[in-house]
Structure 1
Amino acid sequence: MWPSRNRTETVTCLACGTERPRDEAREYDKHGDRWDREDKTFEHLCKTCHRDLCHHPRNGLEALLIDLEAGERGQDAFLANYLDAVEERYGPLEEG
């Protein structure tokens, strides 16, 4: 049987944790390729959190986070390792 068109799917914003109807959210693809949908599941952001995102390219960011074992250690240790890795890969950081 086909699902009802009146049924509203609810999704959870990965940034703030609020539940929203699917039509009030934006798809987020951590690989940056939301158009290739084969064998993918998407996370979602509410429209407010989506607007607050930096929409600049993030080539290599996911791989860097995996290399640094993001989420596996405390925030202070992670940020120190992250800053060191970014400077090593891209040069000294400058404030804008």
Structure 2
Amino acid sequence: MWLSRTHTETVTCLACGEQVSRSKAREYDKHGDRWDRDDKSFEHLCKSCYDGLCHYPRDELEGLLVELEAGEATRERFLSSYLETVEERYGTLEEES
């Protein structure tokens, strides 16, 4: 029986930079579809960084970021337009008690 490469491969967590064995890491797909493996390469997160992620669906997020010129607009302009656009499209976020 062949040894799996996941037992010996080391990957780097994209969030904190820690190097961990592949078997102790989680796959990350920025498109939110880690199950469709055709022609994909994945980045990885250590378990503690993965646990800290928001696991809610992020449909439309990439398009919204492009539309609002994330990375191009000033921080203040981007955050202001992001909050305004999200409230217009999805309503206000109410905190849970």
Taking structure 1 as the reference length, the TM-score comes to: 0.75
The residue number in structure 2 matching 1:61 is: 61
Equivalence map 1:16-27=2 (5 Å): 16-27=16-27
Change (3 A) 1:6 1:14: closer
The 10-residue stretch of structure 1 (22-31 or 59-68) with the greater mean CA deviation from structure 2: 59-68
Q: Identical aligned pairs, as a percentage? A: 67
Farther-moved stretch of structure 1 (69-78 vs 42-51): 69-78
Cα distance in 2 for residues equivalent to 1:69 and 1:36: 28
Q: CA RMSD in A?
A: 2.6
TM-score (norm 2): 0.74
Structure 1 position 11 matched with structure 2 position 11:
yes
Deviation of 1:83 after TM superposition, in Å, equals: 0.7
Kept after mapping to 1: 8 A contact 2:6/2:22: no
Please list the CA deviations of residues 46-91 of structure 1 after superposition, one character each: whole Å capped at 9, or x if unmatched: 1001111122222212222222232334443332221111012112
* CA gap 1:13/1:40 in 2 versus in 1, 3 angstroms: same
Instruction: From the superposition, tell whether residues 67 and 37 of structure 1 become closer, same or farther in structure 2 (CA, over 3 Å).
Output: same
Distance in structure 2 (CA, Å) of the matches to 1:13 and 1:72: 26
Alignment gaps of 5+ in structure 1 = none
User: What runs of 5+ residues in structure 2 fail to find an aligned partner?
Assistant: none
